[in-house]
Each structure stands twice: as structure tokens, then as C-alpha cells.
Amino acid sequence: MSRIAYVNGRYVPHRDAVVHIEDRGYQFADGVYEVCEVARGNIVDMTRHLDRLGRSLGELSIAWPMTRGAMEHVLAEVVRRNRVRNGLVYLQVTRGVAPRDHFFPAKPVRPAMVVTSKRSDPVALNARAEKGIEVITVPENRWDRVDIKTVGLLPNVLAKQKAREAGAAEAWFVDPDGTVKEGGSTNAWIVTRDGVLVTRPAEHGILRGITRTTLFEVARKLGLRIEERGFTVDEAKSAREAFITAATVVVMPVVKIDGSAIANGHPGSIALSLRAAFFDVAEKRPA
Ligand code: PDD
């Protein structure tokens, strides 16, 4: 079956899905995006993702390209047309197409919108979670508005590529004082010896992950305590568990940081139980 993408008002074959060379997303990374998990035919936490999209658009003074209701319809339609039961749906909105000029277009243009969806293999992802992943650490080198989910991801791309070349799956950005910020495309967590979940505050310096937000509810359901505070690489290395969260991986145990094993080097039971309970707690919208 051939894949379908939504591009500026049309559902087109994925291989023919193109945007104009003067799309400001292409030229200036002047746009924002969201990635939602699709699980068992449902779009997961769509409300929170669209709330965050609205915030990102507002911070950059980009208008909604359509009503929120229409956007929900397009997301579901792209998932349906691609017959995705498990996977992801990707949504990108840029300031639009205009002759290249750093200033916002003097005459407002219509924001450009693209939606794609792809399948993932839940069995393979679970197998990965049973094994855990390795992370490396890299110095924080991003701008200070990473709370906005923009498509300007070059530092993230370079950090993640560095991780891959080191045999790891994720790179954690670290401040000069040794505090862990977040991963290239995930939020970072540890579990203390006493079984308390620790993740850094999301007021600034990281993206407020939707998976992270929903995990607060999952933790409550499992009777687990969360402390929102910074933690260092050293604390993470001697933690009971570590894990990452994002729509793409839900909860993924971390078993090594910069080559040093966490606890016994196997995924922690708390991370795995959070992973197992996530779907029941998250919002599910049938596509
Ligand atoms: N990334 N931090 C960063 C820098 C991210 O890019 C992401 C998501 C997260 C986790 O956010 P959420 O739980 O809402 O997925 C944290 C997406 C999945 C991506 O770029 O593919």
C-alpha cells in the first residue's frame, strides 16, 4: 500500500509530497511541529499535543493554519489513509511561503501545514525496552527557547548522530555544572535508591514533553513519587534506574550512560511498569 501525506490542503502520495523552496521552514527553520504516538488505532494524548502546538505557534506569532477541529480531523484522516494502527503521526506548521527575507512577510501568508504518518513495530519496540538503551552526554549548545517545539533541530541532529556513532541511542545535553537537561528528542529521568522518580523542571531549558506530563498521572496511579529537580550525570550514573520518555519511545529504560552501567546494567522494574501502564492512563482518540 502506498503512503499518503497531507500537504497544504491536499492528500497526496507520499513520494509526490513536496513543499515550495521558499517555505520558511525550509529556509529558516521558521516552523513548529508535533509528533503523536498512534497505539492500537488511537492517537495518544492529542489534546495535550495540540495544546502545546498552540503554545509553540503563539510564541512565534504564527497563526493556526486551520481550526483546531479541522486539524484533529486531518491528523486522524492521515492515520486512517495510511492504515497505521501502531506508529506515529507527524504534524508541521511553518510561517508559510514568501520571498526569502528574514523579516516576517509584510503581507501575511497562509501558514504551511504538512502531516505524515508511519508505522512502527510494537513488538520490536518492546524488545528494545526489555534490553534498554545506552546514552552519551554532550555539552548543551542549544538556544534558550527549547521550550518551543521548533523544527530548528540541528544541535539535536548532531548530538544524536554522535550518540549513534558511539553505539548509543540518545545523547543527553548537559549544562556546564553537570546538570542533565534532556535528550536530543526525549526527556530524561532517573529513579533514586528510594524509588523516587526525578526529572528536571520544565519551566525553561527543556521541552515540556507530553509523555513526561502524562507520566505524572501514571506515576500517581502506581503510587510513585516524583521530584521535579535537576540531577547531575554523576547522580544518574549511580541511580537505581534511568529512562527516557517521548511519543516515539513512550518509556525507554537507559542501561548505560557514557559507557558506565546503571545498577546491574539491566532495565529497571519501575521504568518497565511505567511503560506497561502508560497506554491505560493516556488519552486515546480513535483515528
Ligand atoms: N521529540 N525533548 C525533546 C528535545 C524532544 O524533541 C521531544 C520529542 C521530547 C519529548 O516530548 P514528547 O513526550 O511530547 O514526545 C523532549 C519528538 C518525538 C521528535 O522530535 O521526534
DSSP classification of residue 9: T
Say whether both 208 and 235 belong to one domain: yes
Decide which of 72, 87, 120 is a domain's last residue: 120
Catalytic residue, from 107, 149, 221, 256: name it. 149
Mean pLDDT of the residues in the chain: 98
Is 165 found in the same domain as 58? no
Is the domain of 260 the same as that of 167?
A: yes
Among residues 120, 139, 168, the one where a domain terminates is 120
In angstroms, rounded to a whole number, what is the distance separating the alpha carbons of residues 207 and 201?
Answer: 10
Q: Whose CA is nearest to atom 19 of ligand 1?
A: 185
Q: What percent of the chain has pLDDT over 90?
A: 99
| Cα 185 to ligand 1 centre (Å) | 4
245 lines ligand 1 (CB under 6 A): yes
Ligand 1 contacts CB of residue 150 (under 6 A): no
Give the Å distance between the CA of 207 and the centre of ligand 1. Answer: 7
What's the gap between Cα 52 and its chain centre? 12
pLDDT in tens, 261-285: 999 999 999 999 999 999 999 999 9
Q: Domain boundary at 89, 120, 151, which?
A: 120
Query: Rounded to the nearest 10 degrees, how much is the dihedral formed by the CA atoms of 95, 97, 248, 122?
Result: 140
Q: What is the mean pLDDT of residues 72-80?
A: 98
pLDDT tens per residue across span 204-249: 999 999 999 999 999 999 999 999 999 999 999 999 999 999 999 9
Instruction: Name 70's Cβ contacts closer than 8 Å, sequence gap at least 6.
Output: none
Separation of CA 95 and ligand 1 centre (Å): 21
Q: Is 149 a catalytic residue?
A: yes
Mean pLDDT, residues 96-111: 96
Note whether residue 286 is domain-resident.
no
Which pLDDT belongs to residue 2?
A: 83
What domain range includes position 234? 125-281
Is 132 found in the same domain as 252?
A: yes
- For the segment 32-41, the average pLDDT, to the nearest whole number, is 98
CATH of the domain at 262: 3.20.10.10
The answer to whether the CB of 214 is under 6 A from ligand 1 is no
pLDDT digits (tens, 9 = 90+) for 179-198: 999 999 999 999 999 999 99
22 within 8 A of 100, measured Cβ to Cβ: yes
CA of 186 to the centre of ligand 1 (A): 5
pTM exceeds 0.95: yes
Q: Would you call 124 exposed, middle or buried from its count of C-beta atoms within 10 A (0-12, 13-18, 19+)?
A: exposed
